[in-house]
Amino acid sequence: MESTLLGRVSCFSRPLSKVPRRWSSSISQRPGSDRVRFPGAINSKFTTEMTFTNPSNAPNIPTYRVMDSDGVLVDKSRKPMNVPNEEILSWYKNMLTVSVMDVVMFEAQRQGRLSFYMVSAGEEGISVGSAAALTPDDVVFAQYRETGVFQQRGFALKDFMSQLFANRHDNGRGRNMPVHYGCNYPRTHTISSTLATQIPQSSGAAYALKLQALQNPDTPPRIVACYFGEGAASEGDFHAGLNIAATRSCPIVFICRNNGYAISTPTLEQYRGDGIASRGLGYGIDTIRVDGNDIFAVYEAMRKARSIALQDGGKPVLIEAMSYRVSHHSTSDDSFAYRARVEVEDWKRRDNPIIRLRKWLENEGLWNEDLERDTRDQLRKAVLKEFGEAERKKKPAIREAFEGVYEEVTEEAEAQMKELKRIIETYPEEYDLRQFHEGINGL
């Protein structure tokens, strides 16, 4: 197989005779079979009973959980988690960091200090728990409510703040809206606002990893993790991405955050099947539904999914993580326009990935009220410190508006930059360049 990957096959052959050729995909019929081997569905038996398969008769896919909402392991007989307590504590702190940052930044947006923000309240467990099961060499494509993935993968507060304030240190060079984070290594692709476009892209990236592993067996095993919400799963790109991943046997784990809402649209208006998980089976993809408020369940499912994804050179897996979007969709949304405040308050009280893990940590004697208060204080101070510094930093040079469109700035763009410079110099009172690195010379 390797020789075919690295170049031409030496034994190049074409059928020379007139003998009827049978392709490897050809299907033959055995006499007396209880099924016709139609090429489109080779294992379907005949039946004389005319029954339409009704989705409501099929059992709903169960939701995997490890601990209950009191932080108690449900299955007493199960083996303990094979994760050191320090690591579990770091997950907890990562969830707290996201949560503390969310509160500060949401407020900052309300004060008009940044243009936009999206919190991930209620979904910190999904992003932190799943990212904890990845290696730094794994590649991530995300939607936008996966701040915890970036946090777990080592994106620092300074990186978050630089992006949110679009300052000189922003990886995105001030080009993207806030929360559109991106990182080269561990590779976590820059978020784009277009929903679901990352899904077929992640299949292609996973196929590339598979090919690279075949071509160079020394590369460490790598998968792609692709995140999206249940609303995005209605896009055509979801269908395209999962189907291609299945037919090309890609090492990829799709993680759907099913939080009940796509902006104002409840899931009842999004789909009528058994959530997103039921679709995985239709594509021939190994699928599991997990309790997204249970970080242990998410972590374990992701760990197992990762190993399944690497089987036989590549195999896609779908995880549907159930949660509830406690927050508004974004700072541009008032969710009480379409759902009852009491419903949200209920969820906040009833269940939450942070509180659940905190209870487990307290049950284990690893956490207490004092630690909680001190940690939150420290985190808040650290966020505010980076916030202040990032806010004061200059914006990137104005040339960044034109660079990076192509590998090299085109003649057309050079001319337009020159023209913009002329305009700014002719009408200096119309433009405030003080915020931008190098001012007019940055053009």
Catalytic residue list = 107, 193, 329-330
CB 276 to another protein: min, Å: 18
Establish if 192 lies at the interface with another protein (CB under 8 A).
Answer: yes
Residues 6+ positions from 189 with CB-CB distance below 8 Å: 139, 140, 141, 142, 182, 198, 201
The only residue of 172, 251, 316, 353 in contact with another protein, by rule CB under 8 A = 172
Rounded (5°) CA angle 364-367-371: 170
Contact 164, 178 (CB under 8 A): yes
- Please state, in angstroms and rounded to a whole number, the distance separating the CA atoms of residues 179 and 161: 9
Name which of 90 and 201 has its Cβ closer to another protein.
201
Residues 6+ positions from 424 with CB-CB distance below 8 Å: 430, 431, 433, 440, 443
- Please state, in angstroms and rounded to a whole number, the distance separating the CA atoms of residues 99 and 398: 33
CB 231 to another protein: min, Å: 16
Establish if 199 lies at the interface with another protein (CB under 8 A).
Answer: yes
- Please state, in angstroms and rounded to a whole number, the distance separating the CA atoms of residues 91 and 89: 5
The only residue of 244, 290, 322, 361 in contact with another protein, by rule CB under 8 A = 244
Establish if 202 lies at the interface with another protein (CB under 8 A).
Answer: yes
CB 283 to another protein: min, Å: 10
Name which of 96 and 209 has its Cβ closer to another protein.
209
- Please state, in angstroms and rounded to a whole number, the distance separating the CA atoms of residues 248 and 6: 19
For every residue of 413-424, DSSP letters joined together read HHHHHHHHHHHH
Q: Which stretch binds another protein (CB under 8 A): 59-67, 167-175, 265-273, 353-361?
A: 167-175
CB 208 to another protein: min, Å: 4
- Please state, in angstroms and rounded to a whole number, the distance separating the CA atoms of residues 108 and 105: 5
How many C-beta neighbours within 10 Å does residue 339 have?
14
# residues near another protein by CB under 8 A: 61
Name which of 222 and 325 has its Cβ closer to another protein.
222
Q: Which stretch binds another protein (CB under 8 A): 64-72, 76-84, 183-191, 370-378?
A: 183-191
Establish if 218 lies at the interface with another protein (CB under 8 A).
Answer: no
CA 160 remoteness from chain centre: 17
Establish if 237 lies at the interface with another protein (CB under 8 A).
Answer: yes
CA 37 remoteness from chain centre: 39
Establish if 380 lies at the interface with another protein (CB under 8 A).
Answer: no
- Please state, in angstroms and rounded to a whole number, the distance separating the CA atoms of residues 130 and 225: 9
Establish if 194 lies at the interface with another protein (CB under 8 A).
Answer: yes
Name which of 247 and 264 has its Cβ closer to another protein.
247
Rounded (5°) CA angle 5-204-215: 25
The only residue of 69, 234, 243, 363 in contact with another protein, by rule CB under 8 A = 243
Q: Mark 85-104 with x for binding to another protein (rule: CB under 8 A) and - for no binding.
A: --------------------
Establish if 26 lies at the interface with another protein (CB under 8 A).
Answer: no
Interface positions with another protein (CB under 8 A): 1, 4-9, 12-14, 139, 141, 170-173, 175-176, 180, 182-184, 187, 189-190, 192, 194, 197, 199-209, 211-212, 214-215, 224, 236-237, 239-241, 243-244, 247-248, 400, 404-407, 410-412
